Amino acid sequence: MTQNSGLARAFDDLADSYDHGHHEAVARALIALVEPGADDVVADVACGAGAVALQLAQHRQAAARPVLAVDLSPGMVAAGKIRAASLGVEGAVDWRVTDAVPLPVGDHCVDVVFCASSLHFLGRPALADWHRALRPGGRVGFTLPLATHFRASKDFAQHLAHDVPLPESAEEARIWAASYGWTNVASRVHAFGTRRVVLVCASSPDTRS
């Protein structure tokens, strides 16, 4: 069994008891920071049950391309589809069960990439892939748990990416993101009950200028 298949199984086991309320709150805060356009081409990377994708889907322009929602867990995607049906937005999300890296898109064709609560599992290759997928000047919004308020359970600790250091402050996250070529980096710590999450918004360099 590969590491990815083990992680998929861990999330499959969690799908029926997933904390939708927390992840929806994280998604709302991240979307508010990034401020995507209603017709932007958007990818929700390692989407889980689609907290970001579903909130975006409810405010899409009728002619906009569906939000691409990618996750390696069939159980999570199934839960997301059920939630999409309950909200009446089935056609506004393009669900894919596949690895999040690389994204199943062409080069420089996405306006915004979101990754909520997952980059610390994906690792640094995700950052390079987002540069590839984004149009020049495109934006990324991701979260990382604050190091001082995070302890992974034993089922997930073995899957943490060792090349993504959990930040101890918003400034530490900003500097880290900038060191991988992201520009216009903004970051903040957001409290969700007893949990603390660092929200990061940044741009891919606009090579046209």
Domains, the chain: 3-203 (3.40.50.150)
Q: Give pLDDT tens digits for 156-180.
A: 667 777 899 999 999 999 999 999 9
Mean pLDDT for the stretch of residues 190-194: 88
The fraction of the chain above a pLDDT of 90, given in percent, is 73
Judge contact between 70 and 98, C-beta under 8 A.
yes
Residue 194 has a pLDDT of: 85
Residue 1 has a pLDDT of: 29
Q: Is the pLDDT of residue 42 over 50?
A: yes
pLDDT band at 193 (very low <50, low <70, confident <90, very high): confident
Judge contact between 156 and 10, C-beta under 8 A.
yes
Average pLDDT of the chain to the nearest whole number: 89
